[in-house]
Structure 1
Amino acid sequence: MATPRISTTSPRSRHAGEGVGGEGHPAHPNDLSVAPSPTHDFAATWAALGQLGQIVGEVRTYLDSTSRANKQGALLRATDALTRLGQAVAERVVAPDSHLLRRIVRQWQALLIAEGGVVGRALQVGPVDNPYILNNPAEGSRFVGREDVLRRLEELWSPQGVVPSVLLYGHRRMGKTSILRNLGQRFGQQTLIVDFNLQMVGSVRDEADLLFQLAIAIYDACAGQGLAGLAEPREADFTSDHAYMAFRRFLRRLEGLRAGRRLIVTLDEFELLEQQLAAELPRLLRFWRGAFQTFPWLVLAFAGLHTLEERRRDYWDPLFGSVTAIKVSFLARGAARRLIVEPTPDFDLDYDEDVVTTMLDLTNGQPFLVNLLGHALVSRFNQRSFEEGREQERRFHMADLEAVLAAPNFFRDGDAYFSGIWHQAQHSAPAGQPAILSALAPHAAGLTRAQLAAALPEPNPELDGALAKLNDHDVLIVAEGRYRFTVELMRRWVARREMVDGER
């Protein structure tokens, strides 16, 4: 925002008529140079200029703030101060200074209105609500980024007729569930989203129990959207011998009532189904493929780990002719930055720019870890402000981030992510992946392949395959011939783990 030029040279030092246009106006509309009368009292003029300087300070606060709430508050305070300045000029400042100051007030008011107008005052009366989400999917305004995945889904599902089902795969805590939960906002009223989270369903006895539970989930979603005339599925119809027929007849009844709507059934945590129905799964997947072809308005969106996509050539093969796999990886840097500085529209704490940059470097845009750092910073702010009674700036500095990282509970709170990566490395072929991670952990800049091979406790004949798998799983990245951790916080967690194991 442009700042009007303010001359702070004493008016008494000016020559009469200096800087004044042909009609008695300043040469520049924002220049306060005037030709005073010999008896002019400048006290009120200088007081008005002092008020204007305070307004400039609020504008600087606006420009320096990363939080929308703080920006709004600074704009409102500047607007209020301008109103008071206008009143003071009208009551106490005499001509010709009053004419020039009123013009400046009007120009500043126009600038502030252009930047946001009159906005709500940011008022903090208690602990800051922590907007960073750790254990639940992000929904609504808290769901940021993933435009690439959503655009790809729109491309796949926009056409009429037969469209492919989708597999979203990636690490745990990467945001797959959040994507599934926000599909409804993206695809409108002609698309009905059926949330079939296998973690919520719990254990299933057999295929018949699974198909009955799925039919109930579809029925509940349809009833919730006001779809009339569909009878509730009866468990007695879903016997072991007739479950597939019962589910097919249920879809037939739904076909005549759906009024042109497409159904997207989201199956999250699919590995749980693999664990419970491993023997029956091939037949179930063949049935689903036939259902997609018979009922083109039925679409499934699976979500699981990398291993789910990798096993598509095994028993998944009958289904994957009609399923498109989409990788869910790290947030783009711009989206991760927005998640940091504006997790909600009314978030009213600010960040120094070097704190934001460091958080991006530490997490590489991993959404759970971005939220973990933000959550820890807000929790620490609340504890120091409202439990310990410390008065502190509503802004995060590097010292705050360093204190959070040094806290003993930080890596414990992130263990769900870190241990998940480690567990997958332990149980993925080729063997030896955990040893590679342990050897790399002391080296933030990474190692060449030769250096890494020499650092391993014993030779690994499958080293290249293991490195390729860790790279495919986004655990390691190779750049300029050096292997290093994709996420710096993961490297630090492994290093801490090795240090603790070495002390035992």
Structure 2
Amino acid sequence: MKQTAVSRFFATTPLHIGFWLLVKPSAWRKALDQIDLTLPTEFSYLTLTPEQRRNPVLIQFLFNNYLLLVMFNVAAVAIFLSLAKIAQPILIQSLWLTLAYSLIIPPVMSLKSSVSSAYLLGGTIALGIGLLARHTNYIYIPIALAGGLTGNVLLNQARRTARWFNSRELAGMLTGILAAVLFIFIGISIISGQIFGVYTGVPGAMPLPARFAWIITTSAGILYLVIESLVLKSHTNKRLINVLPIAALEGLVISVSYYLFFISIENTPVFLISAGFSGGMLMCFLFTATWQLANQVGGAQAGAMAASLVLGISWVYLSNDLVMRYTFEQINIVRALLVTLAGLTFSVWRPIVSLPFIAIWNNLLYTLDSRSNVSPLKYFKLHAAFFEEGQSLVWPGLADYLILQAERDPEGFEKSKLKFSDSPQRRALQAAEIELLARKLESCADLASISGASRLAQWNFSDSQISTLLSPFARMSHDVESALNQSSVYQTRLGLGRVRDDLNLFQRELILSPQANSSRFTRVTAAWDRIIENKIERLTREANYHHEIANPYICGMPLNDQQEVFVGRTDIMARLESLLLGPNRPPLHLYGQRRMGKTSLLLNLDHYLPSTIISVFLDGQGLAGYSQLMDLFYYVINEIRSEAYRQRGLRLPAIIRQENKSLFAQISRWIDHSEKILVEHDAIVLLMMDEFEALEPILQNNKSQIQEYLGLARFVIQHRPHFKLLFVGSHTLDEINAWSTFLFNAQVVKIGRLAPSETMRLIENPVKNFQLTYVPAASQHILYLTRGHPHLVQSICYELVMLKNEQTSSQRFLATMADVEEAANRTLTSSSFFFVDVRGPQINPQTAAMLDHLSSLGPEGSISRDEWARCFPENFEANLALALKRDLVEDENGFYHFQVEMIRRWFAYRPF
């Protein structure tokens, strides 16, 4: 339990509480939390635990505000009627009535309904009746208003868990109303004396004989006792015997007050106090009894509406027997109904009606803050967004105010983001964040700042339109960073050229886009385009000035679909296309050694596949960072949605986290809905999982679930023809046990080294108008050193171009055997990570020792199986099989030698 000092609540008044309940419910909840964290938002004193009742802070809080409410009501009526120059006798009568209603309603409602209802009902009725005491024909209006406002608070509380009014709630509301009508009929029969054959006449017209008054009021007290005891039993869930004393006390109070009311002389203090007590008790009873019955049958919403309508309308009829000089008119029913409904819907129409006036107030605050240089903002805390919680419309100008706060007080802006992120003002927050992001993007002054733009802000927006608008900037920022990280000026210029083309295309899309923010971001694209174009021109001038050979080769990075140096693989592409479009649907397993070009093939696969296939590339090493299956699947599904929209303009359904539903069910339903869209547009999703072995830790951490999800994936492959799976890795199935049961029927496609013709094309003609030429033996020597290994060809050729650019112009454009040898030697150092991976993780120490021995035999060296086995007898067969599996050696007529000369040189070089 959390308690604070009692003095903390001395500043809290009934006016604060009324404002909180009607306008800012979170403040009421916060006040209760400061008293006791275990207190419900709606609580009555009877439903509290013994420990909560003994809380001195709670007792002091309730008692102080009860006294303040009584004093405020009496003082307000006295001041208002005095200013209205009301006659003193009428003023005194009004004050007695105000005092009586203020004294009786709050404690009774706090006891058996809720504390919040006590303040609203007691304050509104006491004030209203005190002000309208001399206008008896309108006395029902404050009662109807009080019932509507109290019902509005209860209704808002109920709608936090139930949003719609269903048939059960309608039945509950009707049940409560009908029961109340029956009670009112019986009550009027008793109070009027008709059930006893005695008519009391107009209230206050003449004193009733004590004998008849005693009979009537005692009967009313007994009826109240019986019904109230049942209501309290239902409300508190206690035995009837436990609540009977309280019901008996209430019955006694209402019986005595009615007795005094009937026998007292009109307008005497006893008459007025008894009228207020009996009337207040009856109002509390009508509201709480109706609310409890309707709540039991139809729920909290039904209870709130039924209780408000009964209290608001019933007093139109009850006033005939309880209010002096009251004249019943049919129109009063309509008036009472309208006032009650106005109170019930207070949280609906109040924000709309008050919007223009509060908007002026908000604008005044913004003007004051914008003209001052104070940080943090001095007046922003008074903005209506912080107290008007019922406003469903976006406050005009709030986005500009949030931008000002972000610039002046970033820490305060972060707090505002937390407050508004789950409120109707979220749209203003989103508009502010978009504008702030646009300003950050527009402020990029050079390529370095553009390349870091993707880290300036969070790019993940749930709104698909905003995500579509901003994600190209993130992608182009990454592309600029990648271009700047290239090791050659040629590749940097090539990468920046692609970004420039993407910018121009995106700018045309923005111009044609109907989105409201599109025009704002055209200025960003124009600014970026100028910076990139200037850099390209500068790089071009520098290259022309130095007469350098543009280096098109790329080492260690996958070749994307924009790079000309991707060659060959047409046979593998054709086979993959055949398998993907064929009638059978096995999963595909693209297998090959490291640095063999698997990822580059995936990135270029789009050129060879029909447009009906939507390829989705997933990097297994990147996905390995997800520790939970739920996060992993949400990411994959969002990638599919993004690529479907980018490649085909298809909007696949979003998947929303639902903690109360299993992930398996959510994914299955998403697949069902997505496939319908894919069928309509004759599209196929190809999910390409690169380095899928990296997901092994996730499989190990989710062993209890993984078979279930692999079963789902197998079902998708077999029965969902519009979803295809392609797994890419450098391990065979016997090396990845976790996937073996899933991929046991996979169609394996092996990717190896380039063919000689493809290798020679990559060496001599990597791009159009390549300036470097070779003596015939030099290019053949590269083929000999690499045997078509794509990574080694790229590495040697890259080092060769770098070497030639170091030479004089007379030697620069012709490559000789000596140049190739020097480039090969440099490659042994620059590509050391590749060679270390070959000798380290891919083989064991025993196999490495065997290869060390073989490398020492020289470039053309070979060894027979028997001789090799004699040198390394321990586990020879297994170690030899591993070397063969990794494509390091090959058997030629019983003799084994290295497949690739550069790998032999590394083992012979032995820098380790």
Q: How far 1:155 moved relative to its partner?
A: 2.0
What is the one-letter code of the residue matched to 1:195?
F
Task: From the superposition, tell whether residues 232 and 143 of structure 1 become closer, same or farther in structure 2 (CA, over 3 Å).
Answer: same
Does the 8 Å contact 1:143/1:178 carry over to 2?
yes
Partner of 2:553: 132
1:369 matches 2:789 = no
What pairs up with 1:358-397 in 2 under 5 angstroms?
358-385=781-808, 390-397=809-816
Q: How far 1:268 moved relative to its partner?
A: 0.5
Does the 8 Å contact 1:166/1:300 carry over to 2?
yes
Task: From the superposition, tell whether residues 418 and 311 of structure 1 become closer, same or farther in structure 2 (CA, over 3 Å).
Answer: same
Does the 8 Å contact 2:889/2:898 carry over to 1?
yes
Q: How far 1:443 moved relative to its partner?
A: 1.3
1:406 matches 2:825 = yes
**Counterparts of 1:416 and 1:187 in 2: how far apart (Å)?**
34
Does the 8 Å contact 2:733/2:743 carry over to 1?
no
Does the 8 Å contact 2:548/2:805 carry over to 1?
yes
Task: From the superposition, tell whether residues 283 and 343 of structure 1 become closer, same or farther in structure 2 (CA, over 3 Å).
Answer: farther
**Counterparts of 1:375 and 1:297 in 2: how far apart (Å)?**
42
Q: How far 1:469 moved relative to its partner?
A: 2.4
Q: How far 1:198 moved relative to its partner?
A: 2.0
Partner of 2:380: none
**Counterparts of 1:146 and 1:228 in 2: how far apart (Å)?**
30
- Of structures 1 and 2, the one with the larger relative CO (CA 8 A, separation 6+) is 1
Does the 8 Å contact 1:171/1:421 carry over to 2?
no
1:452 matches 2:868 = yes
**Counterparts of 1:474 and 1:322 in 2: how far apart (Å)?**
24
Q: TM-score, normalised by structure 2?
A: 0.38
Q: How far 1:271 moved relative to its partner?
A: 1.8
Q: How far 1:404 moved relative to its partner?
A: 1.9
Task: From the superposition, tell whether residues 208 and 403 of structure 1 become closer, same or farther in structure 2 (CA, over 3 Å).
Answer: same
Q: How far 1:372 moved relative to its partner?
A: 0.4
**Structure 2 residue aligned with 1:440, among 835, 838, 854?**
854
What pairs up with 1:273-352 in 2 under 5 angstroms?
273-279=695-701, 280=703, 281-305=706-730, 307-311=731-735, 314-352=737-775
Task: From the superposition, tell whether residues 230 and 393 of structure 1 become closer, same or farther in structure 2 (CA, over 3 Å).
Answer: closer
Q: How far 1:156 moved relative to its partner?
A: 1.0
Q: How far 1:326 moved relative to its partner?
A: 1.1
What pairs up with 1:220-259 in 2 under 5 angstroms?
220-234=642-656, 236-237=657-658, 242-258=662-678, 259=681
Does the 8 Å contact 1:167/1:323 carry over to 2?
yes
Task: From the superposition, tell whether residues 208 and 396 of structure 1 become closer, same or farther in structure 2 (CA, over 3 Å).
Answer: same
Task: From the superposition, tell whether residues 335 and 282 of structure 1 become closer, same or farther in structure 2 (CA, over 3 Å).
Answer: farther
Does the 8 Å contact 1:289/1:322 carry over to 2?
no
Partner of 1:94: none
Partner of 1:204: 626
Partner of 2:218: none
Does the 8 Å contact 1:425/1:434 carry over to 2?
no
Does the 8 Å contact 2:644/2:651 carry over to 1?
no
What is the one-letter code of the residue matched to 1:136?
M
Measured on the aligned residues, the alpha-carbon RMSD in Å equals 2.2
Does the 8 Å contact 1:162/1:296 carry over to 2?
no
Q: How far 1:283 moved relative to its partner?
A: 4.0
What is the one-letter code of the residue matched to 2:734?
E
What is the one-letter code of the residue matched to 1:403?
E
Q: How far 1:361 moved relative to its partner?
A: 1.1
Does the 8 Å contact 2:558/2:597 carry over to 1?
yes
**Counterparts of 1:229 and 1:158 in 2: how far apart (Å)?**
23
What is the one-letter code of the residue matched to 1:298?
F
Q: Where in structure 1 are there 5+ consecutive unaligned residues?
A: 1-122
Q: How far 1:393 moved relative to its partner?
A: 4.4
Partner of 1:155: 578
Q: How far 1:194 moved relative to its partner?
A: 0.5
What is the one-letter code of the residue matched to 1:311?
E
Task: From the superposition, tell whether residues 246 and 452 of structure 1 become closer, same or farther in structure 2 (CA, over 3 Å).
Answer: same
**Counterparts of 1:301 and 1:230 in 2: how far apart (Å)?**
21
Partner of 1:463: 876
What pairs up with 1:53-68 in 2 under 5 angstroms?
none
Counterpart of 2:742 in 1: which secondary structure?
helix
Does the 8 Å contact 1:211/1:244 carry over to 2?
no
Partner of 2:897: 484
Q: How far 1:174 moved relative to its partner?
A: 0.3
What is the one-letter code of the residue matched to 1:271?
E
**Counterparts of 1:434 and 1:241 in 2: how far apart (Å)?**
52
Task: From the superposition, tell whether residues 212 and 405 of structure 1 become closer, same or farther in structure 2 (CA, over 3 Å).
Answer: same
**Counterparts of 1:146 and 1:241 in 2: how far apart (Å)?**
45
Does the 8 Å contact 1:364/1:486 carry over to 2?
yes
1:107-162 per-residue CA deviation (whole Å, 9 max, x = no partner) reads xxxxxxxxxxxxxxxx9653222111112222343221112211211221233x54
Q: How far 1:226 moved relative to its partner?
A: 4.3
Does the 8 Å contact 2:623/2:695 carry over to 1?
no
Does the 8 Å contact 1:130/1:378 carry over to 2?
yes
**Counterparts of 1:405 and 1:180 in 2: how far apart (Å)?**
28
Does the 8 Å contact 1:448/1:481 carry over to 2?
yes
1:222-264 per-residue CA deviation (whole Å, 9 max, x = no partner) reads 1212434423333x23x59722222222211211212111111
Counterpart of 1:225 in 2: which secondary structure?
helix
**Counterparts of 2:577 and 2:855 in 1: how far apart (Å)?**
40
Count residues with an aligned counterpart: 360
Does the 8 Å contact 1:165/1:299 carry over to 2?
yes
Q: TM-score, normalised by structure 1?
A: 0.67
1:295-332 per-residue CA deviation (whole Å, 9 max, x = no partner) reads 12111111111x343336x4434322542111111111
1:413-436 per-residue CA deviation (whole Å, 9 max, x = no partner) reads 212321222123435xxx721121
1:78-118 per-residue CA deviation (whole Å, 9 max, x = no partner) reads xxxxxxxxxxxxxxxxxxxxxxxxxxxxxxxxxxxxxxxxx
**Counterparts of 1:295 and 1:394 in 2: how far apart (Å)?**
55
What pairs up with 1:483-502 in 2 under 5 angstroms?
483-497=896-910, 500=911
What pairs up with 1:19-98 in 2 under 5 angstroms?
none
**Counterparts of 1:229 and 1:297 in 2: how far apart (Å)?**
15
Task: From the superposition, tell whether residues 272 and 241 of structure 1 become closer, same or farther in structure 2 (CA, over 3 Å).
Answer: farther
Counterpart of 2:840 in 1: which secondary structure?
helix
Partner of 1:216: 638
Partner of 1:106: none
**Counterparts of 1:405 and 1:150 in 2: how far apart (Å)?**
30
Q: How far 1:438 moved relative to its partner?
A: 1.4
Identity across the alignment (%) = 27
Q: How far 1:291 moved relative to its partner?
A: 1.5
Task: From the superposition, tell whether residues 413 and 216 of structure 1 become closer, same or farther in structure 2 (CA, over 3 Å).
Answer: same
Partner of 1:266: 688
**Counterparts of 1:419 and 1:282 in 2: how far apart (Å)?**
35
More strand, by proportion: 1
Does the 8 Å contact 1:266/1:301 carry over to 2?
yes
Does the 8 Å contact 2:629/2:698 carry over to 1?
no
Q: How far 1:411 moved relative to its partner?
A: 1.4
Does the 8 Å contact 2:591/2:749 carry over to 1?
yes
What is the one-letter code of the residue matched to 2:833?
A
Moved over 4 A (4+): none
Does the 8 Å contact 1:174/1:368 carry over to 2?
yes
**Counterparts of 2:812 and 2:883 in 1: how far apart (Å)?**
42
Partner of 2:598: 176
